[in-house]
Structure 1
């Protein structure tokens, strides 16, 4: 347990896929192996994001998976656990656990069941979590994903939270797909130590040029080294070429539902069929769709290096 504030996390993070067994229980050993592989490729770990099937995981399961990572020696400073839920006590418990573990920050969805809630209501929710956790080490990264949550986070709400909790409101993952919104966040709040992470590597090159903090993107799960290379490059021409290559891979995965598609690819290259398992209501790719996906990826020259390590 860390007693000091961890350094700000930057760069490329994976919303880590959660492997399940055929009994639909989380596979802790494979989860740890996947996280280790991602770290070796230079990625950070935004565990319990959308692509982690976090909404299908219980609070106890999230805690248990986090503990498995810590016990395996994964540095907590590489972790940005997703802690936002609809139930305030659950969010507080998950957030407190992450802070006490020494995580670099937490990625916090707004409560997403009730629609058309006011900024006052959202401010009260985030404020209540921060006050109940009551720890100066807490770094909250807001999760703006209106297409899934149907609960957008306005610039006015962010400004209000920053004024009330400077230093604690550390940044945002913007999965809106709207570059103008991401750019507005960088320009309006970047000088206040507010870090903006686009929710797809598609925007990474533009984010770097504008002063963004990296990206938190689904396909980091399967293509980490290539996406990390964009972040690390200091040559604009090289970055553009790397960006085009990463975009071409992402477009192939987007021809299928992303979570089952990524899991199918890992299953194919690792030889572990269990990797195809998703929790209902999601369904695995059928054999034809999976074969078509793999063929497209292979024709594009894509493969998952050292995939046996994910098994």
Structure 2
């Protein structure tokens, strides 16, 4: 496998909240530590799964600071720092870099739709130049079904040319494996990370760098096993079994609305119902839905 700035298994971590809707720093820090122990190379906090855009700038910066103060190594953290306002993105990104993180994940500008490739390039360029820090490493975030804005390959090519060593990878959550393979072919040493757990195996088989996924909150150990053993002779059956388990758990996260379902599953796994809370406009699962999810988790654990 080629050497990438970011490779392996990263968790798109969910964010617990208190009864008043603020981040629950204690639960989150404990979760980060558990994820690293379970096999994650790092924690990609404050992304889609982390309900990032439901939190204010100070809350987001506090989450990062509290995790580091609580004993999570900053180089293991990969925060999402994008906002609709470029000035806010610069502020959060600069804060993250100064805190010592290895890199940040950046959405394209995501409020206006139908923007040009030139406009997307200029937004990223202004952020990079505004941060003004040689330590900055950027993982682009391609999730057009949510952001409404795709990241064209021509933009990636320009950013890599104009900011070498800064724009080092992409999280592709589109579910389009062919797009990921095309980026692998077009951009040597550019870390292409799958945003969907079932695509980890086919992606690394094609030369990809790894994954940043929601189900890592639950099956980090299995993802770690697949990443470490996918090309080890004699491990084919064990890799397939791990991959099958990953797919089954991923399918359960989609049984109802995904983000509250993930939190419901984490609540059972961590033994703390504080994880059940979500931020508006999301709502918690009903009692019947929660019971169904937990029952299905029990079945998967016994499988």
TM-score, normalized by the shorter chain, greater than 0.5: yes
Q: Which residue is equivalent to 1:123?
A: 121
Following superposition of structure 1 onto structure 2, how do residues 1-311 of structure 1 map, counting pairs within 5 Å?
8-43=5-40, 44-189=42-187, 191=188, 193-233=189-229, 234-235=231-232, 237=236, 238-301=238-301
CA distance in 1, matches of 2:35, 2:12: 11
Distance, in Å, in 2 between the alignment partners of 1:264 and 1:245 is: 18
* Alignment partners' CA distance in 2, 1:302 and 1:197: 30
Given that residues 173 and 216 in structure 1 are in contact (C-alpha distance below 8 angstroms), is that contact kept between their aligned partners in structure 2?
yes
Structure-2 residue corresponding to 1:4 = none
Offset, 1:268 = 2.6
SS at match of 2:171: strand
Gap runs ≥5 in structure 1:
1-6, 304-311
Q: How far is the alpha carbon of 1:184 from its aligned partner?
A: 0.6
8 Å contact 1:85–1:110 — kept in the other structure? no
What are the Cα deviations for residues 284-304 of structure 1, in whole angstroms up to 9, with x where unaligned? Answer: 00010111111122122269x
For residues 128 and 70 of structure 1, the distance between their equivalents in structure 2, rounded to whole angstroms, comes to 28
Deviation at 1:223, TM superposition (A): 1.6
Distance between the aligned counterparts of 1:268 and 1:138, measured in 2?
A: 37
Q: Tell me whether 264-273 or 50-59 shows the greater mean CA deviation.
A: 264-273
Q: Which residue of 2 aligns with 1:307?
A: none
> Is contact 1:144–1:152 with CA below 8 Å preserved after alignment?
yes
User: Deviation per CA, 1:191-227, whole angstroms, max 9, x where unpaired?
Assistant: 2x21000101211111111111110000101221111
C-alpha change, 1:137 and 1:269, in structure 2 (3 Å) is closer
| Cα distance between partner residues in 2 of 1:219 and 1:9 | 19
Q: CA RMSD in A?
A: 1.5
Distance 1:228 1:91 in 2: 31
- Deviation, structure 1 residue 266: 2.2
* Unpaired segments ≥5 residues, structure 2: none
User: CA–CA distance in 1 between the matches of 2:223 and 2:269?
Assistant: 19
d(CA) in 1 for partners of 2:5, 2:100: 12
TM-score (norm 2): 0.94
Q: Which residue does 1:3 correspond to in 2?
A: none
Report the Cα offset of residue 45 of structure 1.
Answer: 0.5
Bigger CA drift: 142-151 or 258-267? Answer: 258-267
